Amino acid sequence: MSDQAIRRAQDALWSTVRIAAEPGGAAAFAAILSGAYAPGTGERVGILVSGGNSTAVDFGGL
């Protein structure tokens, strides 16, 4: 997963649901968002998002 894909996921989480996620916490969402992981037919996916290190994120610089 690229840093850019993770930053896009962080930005999407912030701009849509106001969740400030740390990079590790946004990685699984980045995989779905970027298409790096595509759920199989009938598969249900859950993603745990965390934000312990989110103070280092500059959402304005994306």
Q: List the pLDDT tens digit at each of the 62 positions of the chain.
A: 899 999 999 999 989 998 888 888 899 999 999 999 999 999 999 998 887 665 555 656 55
How many domains does one find in the chain? 1
17 within some domain: yes
10 within some domain: yes
Domain that holds residue 43: 3-54
Specify the pLDDT at position 58: 61
Q: Return the amino acid letter for 23.
A: P
38 within some domain: yes
Specify the pLDDT at position 2: 92
Are 29 and 11 spatial neighbours (Cβ–Cβ below 8 Å)? no
Which residue is it, tokens 């649901």?
17
60 within some domain: no
